[in-house]
Structure 1
Amino acid sequence: MRERPRDVADEVVLDAVRRHWAGTAEAVEHLPVGFGAHHWAVWTAGVRTHFATLDAVGARHSATSLEAAYRTAVTLAAELELVVAPLTSRSGACTVPLSPVPLGRYALSLTPWSSARTPEVLDGPATAALLGRLHAVDPPPTTPRWRPRVPPDLAVRLTAACAAPWTSGPHGEEARAAIGARLEAVGRWTARYHALGATAAGRRWVVTHGEPHEANQLVDDRGRLRLVDWESVALAPAERDLRTLLERGHPVAVEPAMVELFDLEWRLDEIAQYAAWFAAPHPGSASDAVALEDLHHELGRPDAV
C-alpha cells in the first residue's frame, strides 16, 4: 500500500521483528509499494537486512490459511530456488499476530532483503519456464486447495449495498454509480463463473502461485527470475497462473474454459473488494485513486474469451 496503516505504528512492527526474528534490528522504514498489504524495510547495523509484510486477516485469509500459504512457500523453497519464502520465526511459525494491535487483525511475516530488481515488463518465455517448474513440483501437504472465492449471490449483495448512498469518502458515490450501472453484468459473470467452477475438478491441478505477474517477480544481477508474495498459493488448474502470460501477449497452451474461470474470479473479486472499500470511510488517498481506476477497469474491460 502507498500509505502507512492508520492503526499500526512503526514501533509495533519493529518490536515484533525483534521479538520473533531479528533481535538486533535497529529500525523499520515503511515502503509505499505493493497493493493490498503493507511493507517495511528492516535496518540492522546501518543496512537493509529484511523485508517485513503486514497482511490483513479477514475475508481473504484467516490466520490459519495465511500461515498454511506461507508454510507452503517455505517447503517449496527447499526444492525450488525460484521461491522467495518467508523466514520462520523463533517459534517456528511463518506469521505472527501483532500486539497491542487487536489480536487477529493483522499477521506479520519477514523475508530476507534482496537487492534484485522488479522487472518493468513481464518476460514471457522466462516466466513460462519458471511456471513450468513450479507446476511440475509435488504439492507440499500444507498447500491450500483452490475454491470459488466469489459468492453466488454477489449481484444481490451489491444491489443491496448500492441501495443507500456511499458518502463516507470522496469516491463513494462515483464507485456506487459505476457498480450500480453494471449489476446485470455482474450477475451474468457470477453465474458463468460458478458454472465453470463446477467443471474445474475434472482438470489436472498443480501448485499455482496465483499472481505471477511482473510486480511479484525479482530478477537478480545474473538474470535469474524468482517469485515473491506467496499468500495466494493454491492447488488449482494451471490456467490460474497461465492467464497472466496470455494477458501479456505470450502464447501458451491452455484450456479456454479455465482461463475464463480465473479471469472472471479476478474481475468479480476485485469488484467485490472495491465495493466494500468505497462503501466504507476512505480519505481520498493515492491508494484510493488507484483502487477507483482499477474498479472502472474491471467493470468495463472486455471479457477474456
Structure 2
Amino acid sequence: MPIKCAIIGYGYWGRNVAKAIVQCSNFELITIYDEEHNALNEAHKSYDFSPYPSYEAILSDTQIQAVFIITPPHTHFSLAKRALESAKHTFVEKPLTTNSAQAQILYDVADSKNVRLYCDHIFLHSPAINYLKEHIASFGEIVYINARRINLGLFQSNVDVIWDLAIHDLSIIDYLVGLHIKEVSTFATTYLCYPNDALANINMKLENGIIITLNLSWLSPIKVREMIIGGSKKTAIYDETKHNKITLFNTGVVIKDEFDKTSLYQKMVEYKLSKEIIPKLPKTMALDNSIAHFSEYILNQDCIEKSKCDKEHILRVIKAIEMIQEARIAPPH
C-alpha cells in the first residue's frame, strides 16, 4: 500500500515536491496545506485533494503517515517536532534547522517515536554527484575544491546567503571527501538595508589537507553553480546549469618542490591541451530520486542503514555552517 502523505507549504519548491510525489508509486498524496489561500487555490488547479482546516488536523489524522515540510527555514524545527511527536515520518526541505542543538532534538524525537526523519540535501541524489562519488578515487589525492554558487537572488528574510546557498556545496563536499574542518575564515557582508548577509567568501582547510573555497552571492547578474575538484591525477568541473554537467580532465594538479622554466612551461601546455572527457549520466531528476529515497527510507530497513542523508551527515553540515559563521570576519566600516 502506498504511504499516505501531506505537503505542508505550496510555494515555489512545494510545487516541485508535489509533482515528484505524485510520480512516486510509493506515495499517495492526501492533502496539501498552506496558510495562504492563493497558494491553496493554485494547488487545487493541479491536484484533487481534501483540504484540512489546520496543520493540527493533519497531524491528528491517523491515515496520514508522512508529512513533507516545505516551508521557510525558521519554521522547520517547530513543524517537524510536532509532526514527529504525532508519529509521522517527516521530510524536511533543507536546512533541517538552523541550529545543531535543535537538529539533535528532532532526531531524538524521531527515535523515540520510531519514525523516520529525513532532510533533503538534494544534490546527493543528483546523477552527476553520484558519478563523482563513484569515481573520486581515480582523481588521486584531492588537493582543492573550489565552488561558486552565485545569482541575482531572492533576498531571504529568515536566513543569510550562507544558510541559503553554502549548505548545498557543504553537503556535496561531505558526501565526496568528508567535511571535517581544521581551519576556517569567513568574509560576509550585507547589502544596503537588508538585515542578512548577501555575499560571502569562505576559505577552509580540512583535516585531510584539502583546501576549500566557497564563493556565495545574491548579488550576481548571472547564475553560476560550479564546482571544481582538483586531484593529483584528474580534475573535474561540475556545472549544474549545463546540459553536460561534468567535464573531466586527465591532467591533475602537478606538485613539485622546484620548477625550471622549461618544465613549468611544458606542464602548463600539457594541462591546457589535456583531453576532456564528458561522461554520460542518467537523465533522472535529483528531486525525484530524493523522494523515492525517502520512501525506501521508510519502507526498507537496509536503506535506513545506508541512507546518504543520515543523521551524522546532516549534523556535520549544520555544525560546519555554525563554524563558518563563528569565523565571520566583520567588514571594515
Structures share fold, TM-score greater than 0.5: no
The TM-score range, normalised by the shorter chain, is: under 0.3
Greater Rg by CA: 2
Question: Which has the larger strand fraction?
Answer: 2
Query: TM-score, structure 2 length as denominator?
Result: 0.22
Query: TM-score, structure 1 length as denominator?
Result: 0.23
